[in-house]
A = this chain, B = another copy of it.
Amino acid sequence: MASEDGQKAGGAGGENEGAEEMVVNPWEVAVKGGGKIDYDKLIEKFGCQRLDSSLVRRVERLTSRPAHVFLRRGVFFAHRDLEEILDLYERGEKFYLYTGRGPSSEALHLGHLVPFMFTKYLQDAFKVPLVIQLTDDEKCMWKNLSVEECKRLARENAKDIIACGFDITKLSSSPTLIMLVGKLFGCAFYENMVRVSKCVTFNKVVGIFGFTPEDHIGKISFPPVQAVPSFPSSFPHLFSGNDNLRCLIPCAIDQGCCSRIGYQKPALIESSFFPALQGETGKMSASDPNSAIYVTDSAKDIKNKVNRYAFSGGRDSIELHRKYGANLEVDIPIKYLGFFLEDDDELEHIKTEYGAGRMLTGEVKKRLIEVLSEMVERHCKARAAVTDEMVDAFMAVRPLPNMFS
């Protein structure tokens, strides 16, 4: 896996449950008081096993060649499940190798070459595919390096890795494959995700989104995904370098806060919330299909839901209703008509008559049922005409006409 630095030794103190005097994680190796690294403790901490000489001899036997110096001399001294790998290799089954590097500096030192020299030996000895991942994004996040600098370093480091003897011509002649996965390369969208993620601490997303330490990291890392399309540089094919192009986002008022995590603020036009049938103070429930009208509802469903569940601002009896009129402030049929009845004059008329008690809830609901049924029927017809090919066409990663040319 990508290593911060191949050259690790004791240093400033620190504590860790597994190995009391050592701090060892992928970014730090330190021993309290400058003591020696206790590899037996590390083996225990990381749940692996000693790679003993009988296993080295088995590797030599299976590959019909002497073990690499690093194996013979115990540089590679521990393993997990290596015996299983050798078992399946012996049965003629395949496996693959994966290694990588986080390109943090231009010049590699000898410690950086060690894993690639050894990987080259393993690939040659076992004739297996190899995936090399250059985590250019990692160094952008850990070090104070720009995206551009990380991309440049990844290319430079790739040359050093290739120089270790990996051979792209093997691609066609044998199953010995090599892939360099530089994730940032050529993906403007991902580059912007990295730029945004670097600017947002866990504490900040807790403040905005209410996450807890028990939330999984998929949630915690998600907000930048929503922020990034508001940067035109995420879509170079579409906007061809016009990176100051403004973005306008139509959204509900609670959704604009995603844009607070970006470094570049889009313009917003924000809606109120669409209320549940049971009313604006009723409890929203995704598990209650009667709290909303779905585009898949039949005319009968719509009639039933509106009549039974739509919260009414009408009074308890016809007498009281005629006397006081409906409370339009809480009446859901009126609110829904406000969204979907296009005729301003008719809406005004209904509100006046209903508010004065001359129109009854049943009449207003009847008109709402007409409006919703017609709208849902229209939507269903339009949806039935949408083919899978149309979906593919919209979704395709496709060359886009340049709006600026």
Is B80 touching A265 in the complex (CB atoms < 8 A)? Answer: yes
Is B79 touching A269 in the complex (CB atoms < 8 A)? Answer: yes
Is A3 touching B281 in the complex (CB atoms < 8 A)? Answer: no
The number of residues on chain A lying at the interface, defined by a beta carbon within 8 Å of a beta carbon of chain B, is: 198
Per the bound structure, the CA–CA distance linking A338 and B114 in Å amounts to 12
Q: Is A324 an interface residue (CB 8 A)?
A: no
Q: Which of A316-339 contact B (CB under 8 A)?
A: 336, 338-339
Closest to A404 in B: B94
Q: Is A300 an interface residue (CB 8 A)?
A: no
Residue of B37, B210, B222, B272 near A77 (CB, 8 A) is B272
Is B177 touching A200 in the complex (CB atoms < 8 A)? Answer: no
Is B110 touching A400 in the complex (CB atoms < 8 A)? Answer: no
- The smallest beta-carbon distance between A105 and chain B, in angstroms, is 8
Residue of B77, B84, B109, B272 near A293 (CB, 8 A) is B109
- The smallest beta-carbon distance between A174 and chain B, in angstroms, is 9
Q: Which of A254-299 contact B (CB under 8 A)?
A: 254-259, 265-276, 278-284, 286, 291-296
Closest to A110 in B: B293
A295 with B113, Cβ < 8 A, contacts A254-B29, A272-B39, A383-B163 known:
yes
Q: Which of A1-59 contact B (CB under 8 A)?
A: 1-3, 5-12, 23-29, 31, 34-37, 39, 42-43, 46, 48, 51
- The smallest beta-carbon distance between A55 and chain B, in angstroms, is 10
A252 with B6, Cβ < 8 A, contacts A175-B403, A390-B168 known:
yes
Q: Which of A343-397 contact B (CB under 8 A)?
A: 344, 372, 375-376, 379, 382-383, 385-386, 388, 390-391, 393-395
Central interface residue in A79, A96, A278, by most chain B CB within 10 Å: A96
- The smallest beta-carbon distance between A297 and chain B, in angstroms, is 8
Q: Is A241 an interface residue (CB 8 A)?
A: no
- The smallest beta-carbon distance between A41 and chain B, in angstroms, is 11
Is A267 touching B386 in the complex (CB atoms < 8 A)? Answer: no
Q: Which of A186-208 contact B (CB under 8 A)?
A: 194, 197-203, 205-206, 208
Q: Is A245 an interface residue (CB 8 A)?
A: yes
The residues of B that contact A96 with a CB separation of less than 8 Å are: 232, 238-239, 245-248
A229 with B131, Cβ < 8 A, contacts A122-B250, A339-B114, A401-B172 known:
yes
Is A216 touching B201 in the complex (CB atoms < 8 A)? Answer: yes
The residues of B that contact A383 with a CB separation of less than 8 Å are: 159-160, 162-163
Is A295 touching B221 in the complex (CB atoms < 8 A)? Answer: no
Closest to A205 in B: B217
Is A269 touching B82 in the complex (CB atoms < 8 A)? Answer: yes
Per the bound structure, the CA–CA distance linking A78 and B273 in Å amounts to 12
Q: Is A115 an interface residue (CB 8 A)?
A: yes
The residues of B that contact A27 with a CB separation of less than 8 Å are: 209
Per the bound structure, the CA–CA distance linking A75 and B275 in Å amounts to 11
Central interface residue in A1, A42, A76, by most chain B CB within 10 Å: A1
Closest to A176 in B: B403
Residue of B113, B199, B211 near A379 (CB, 8 A) is B113
The residues of B that contact A137 with a CB separation of less than 8 Å are: 218, 222, 225
Q: Is A179 an interface residue (CB 8 A)?
A: yes
- The smallest beta-carbon distance between A7 and chain B, in angstroms, is 5
Closest to A384 in B: B163
A295 with B226, Cβ < 8 A, contacts A80-B265, A217-B201, A249-B1 known:
no
The residues of B that contact A279 with a CB separation of less than 8 Å are: 9
Is B266 touching A98 in the complex (CB atoms < 8 A)? Answer: yes
Q: Is A303 an interface residue (CB 8 A)?
A: no
Q: Is A224 an interface residue (CB 8 A)?
A: yes
Is B74 touching A280 in the complex (CB atoms < 8 A)? Answer: no
The residues of B that contact A31 with a CB separation of less than 8 Å are: 281
Is A9 touching B276 in the complex (CB atoms < 8 A)? Answer: yes
Per the bound structure, the CA–CA distance linking A24 and B171 in Å amounts to 54
